Structure 1
Amino acid sequence: MSASTVPPLPTLARDAHIHHVMQALSQIPAGMISLDSSRMLIIFYCVSTLDLLGALEEKTTPAQRDVWRTWIWEQYVAGPFGTAFKPGTSMNDSTPHLITTYAALLSLAALRDDFSRLNRPGVLAFLRACQKSDGSFASTPPVAHNTPQYTLADADMRNVYCAFCICSLLGEPAWRGIDVEKAVEFIGRCRTYEGGYGQLPGCEAQGGTTYLAIACLRMAPLRHSPEPEPRLSAQARAHTEHWLVHNQDAASGGFRGRTGKPPDSCYCFWAGAALQILEAQDKIDAHALTSFIAHCQFAYGGIAKAPGGFPDPYHTYLALAAAALYTTHLPPTSRVYASAAGWTLAPFDALLSGGAA
């Protein structure tokens, strides 16, 4: 498609999206009891969406932000496993969660918290307690359940990603506290014949877990050797790029999460961010991707998984994150259309801010 025939983008419904996530945030901490275990992630998606839209300080008050920070810190617990964040107020005090801890730290960062209350050695002790002998990470330490480590079934790519993000946030000493090489070996065992990565060894490749794997391999410190080698060979990298690129749907511009599946706005982030990390963002149609996201907007705010669907904070955040990554890579004519339609978003870190697939 030539520059002269690129269709204008629908307008970004900025105010409606702000209203959508503010409505979700207004239920925290008072409501949403049935979603208590997901409440920390909902805060993460909503606060991060406001940050992307440049509205966190513009549309919220210092008192509101203080309430959210206070609620997050109320979930910070200590025990024989170290220190970490539990999912919600109804959860047992002795059961923190790795994904929750990741979401809490990213949310606090977005809320400009100074982390003065964070016990960094305690968080590192928690990470060590979650790592299994095969290199993967469970979401909770076995001591929290009085359960042998090898029986924990939820040790998967999501938890490896969250552990690596936390190490990146804590700084270089944290990396020395976990077995990075074992974790990288686990990631390698999750790679499939297609070039993508599954949740566990032997699982089907998915866009979300492929992003998590690629982000982990980029974050992981290189081995200490005279000539450190990249974590991903040139051949493996090209194979992964090929699989990701060919998951962009030619008709809609959106990305599918698995081979043969329909496109979904969240995979515009998972695949798009993975390609950015691999420095292969120019291999896809950025205008078509942004147009698909624009057409997933719900009339009254929020973004759905597909055009015509109902929105939720998860898809709203990830879709806008994908747009933030790719509107800067649009061709000049498309960039003009995007700017005129309001698709100007805050800078976005493709490595640390992906959430858990």
Structure 2
Amino acid sequence: MTVGYFCLGALDLLGEIPTIPDEDRQAYIDWIYAQQIHPEVPGSAHCGFRGGSYAGAPYSPDASLSANSGDSAHITMTYTALACLLILGDDLSRVKRVSIITTMKQLQQPNGSFIPYAGSDESDMRFLYCACATSYILNDWRGINRDLAVKYIVDSQTYEAAFGQAPGQEAHGGSTYCAIASLHLMGRLGELKSRDALVYWLLTRQEGGFNGRPNKASDTCYSFWVGSSLEMLGAYEFVDIKALRRFLDSTHSKHGGFGKEPGDYPDLLHSYLGLSGLAITQTTPSIRHLHTPTGLSEETLKHLKTVEAWSTRDGQIDKLTETFGQKMAINT
């Protein structure tokens, strides 16, 4: 699912989605919905989207499949599935929104972080961001205790003013993006501490391109992670865009796409994030503008705000009961 997101996200930034034949686009949409897991009983902690049909039951284009003990959704795949559906122009009408929100509430940990799936012992800033991005897309924040989430983010800020994956861990460009974007999506960016010091740390990541930590080489993907963070903080004007473009030109491969560093073969992750980094610079007219907190193009974001999932906030259609395990108020 995430590989699909890199491909479709890149095509969206290039304005190429309309060139995909309608039958192919519908086949992609059906494949994504076939990865959706929903519960046989209300209150399941396994709902959302899996990464692919290889992760569970056989492919079924007609209906989502019930969860079982050997299969579970993943919070990152849920976020990227929703993003892919929006990029493809879907209206999210088949998304089991209440089931996703119910599951997400059970994935949040006492310290405010999130695990990616029920039973996992891994929790960090990445999964908190995916929970925030999912809640933003569905326009339903009942799956997140936002006060706890903000506390986890604040507790993860280091002496350098940037953010680690968890409290006490090293500051990193990727986790810093996840922290800032999560605060932005929750409408809590005003609670950010040491903003000026954070901007300084982010700007000192540039050595032509951006690196993710001090004493590391520049890497194509940080043109997005660090560039987006500066854009959200209103400090992108201080970036040396000419130097950044020279670096990205050096990682752009003759085979097509972007590699991690100059001379590397291209891969889908760095190709998508390289295009995203260029989109933030707004120096290439053929690349669409990017909504950095979600990673969606501005055109796709406009589409999001027209679909039913956005306009029916607080459950005018979907209502979540207060106690998990009780029967849902409506059929999801």
TM bin, normalised by shorter chain, reads 0.7 to 0.9
- Counterparts of 2:53 and 2:143 in 1: how far apart (Å)? 29
Letter aligned with residue 292 of structure 2: A
Which SS does the other structure have where 1:81 is aligned?
coil
2:272 aligned with 1:317: yes
- Counterparts of 2:126 and 2:170 in 1: how far apart (Å)? 15
Cα distance, 1:70 vs structure 2? 1.1
- Counterparts of 1:268 and 1:178 in 2: how far apart (Å)? 29
How much is the aligned-residue C-alpha RMSD, in angstroms? 1.5
Letter aligned with residue 129 of structure 2: Y
Matches within 5 A, 1:232-251: 232-233=192-193, 236-249=194-207
Instruction: Name the counterpart of 1:346.
Output: 288
> Retained in 1: the 8 A contact 2:113–2:123?
yes
Instruction: Name the counterpart of 1:297.
Output: 252
2:134 aligned with 1:166: yes
Letter aligned with residue 46 of structure 1: C
97, 105, 109: which one aligns with 1:128: 105
Cα distance, 1:83 vs structure 2? 2.9
Change (3 A) 1:210 1:349: same
- Counterparts of 1:314 and 1:61 in 2: how far apart (Å)? 24
Matches within 5 A, 1:129-144: 129-142=106-119
85, 91, 100: which one aligns with 2:49: 85
Instruction: Name the counterpart of 1:263.
Output: 218
Cα distance, 1:122 vs structure 2? 1.2
> Retained in 2: the 8 A contact 1:324–1:344?
no
- Counterparts of 1:184 and 1:288 in 2: how far apart (Å)? 35
What TM-score comes out, normalization by structure 1 length? 0.75
96, 114, 118: which one aligns with 2:73: 96
- Counterparts of 1:231 and 1:112 in 2: how far apart (Å)? 35
Cα distance, 1:208 vs structure 2? 0.7
Instruction: Name the counterpart of 2:14.
Output: 53
2:190 aligned with 1:212: no
Give the aligned length: 279
- Counterparts of 1:178 and 1:157 in 2: how far apart (Å)? 14
Instruction: Name the counterpart of 2:4.
Output: 43
- Counterparts of 2:151 and 2:240 in 1: how far apart (Å)? 33
- Counterparts of 1:304 and 1:263 in 2: how far apart (Å)? 12
Letter aligned with residue 49 of structure 1: A
> Retained in 1: the 8 A contact 2:212–2:222?
yes
> Retained in 2: the 8 A contact 1:304–1:316?
yes
- Counterparts of 2:134 and 2:243 in 1: how far apart (Å)? 34
Cα distance, 1:115 vs structure 2? 0.7
- Counterparts of 2:143 and 2:287 in 1: how far apart (Å)? 36
> Retained in 1: the 8 A contact 2:280–2:290?
yes
> Retained in 2: the 8 A contact 1:286–1:327?
no
| Ranges in structure 2 where 5+ consecutive residues have no aligned partner | 57-66, 297-332
2:92 aligned with 1:115: yes
Instruction: Name the counterpart of 2:309.
Output: none
1:238-294 Cα distance to aligned partner (Å, 9 max, x none): 111000000100xxx100011100000001110000000000001110121122112
Q: Please say which of residues 127-136 and 345-354 is displaced more in the overlay.
A: 345-354
186, 191, 201: which one aligns with 2:152: 186
What TM-score comes out, normalization by structure 2 length? 0.81
Letter aligned with residue 177 of structure 2: Y
Instruction: Name the counterpart of 2:33.
Output: 73
- Counterparts of 1:153 and 1:198 in 2: how far apart (Å)? 18
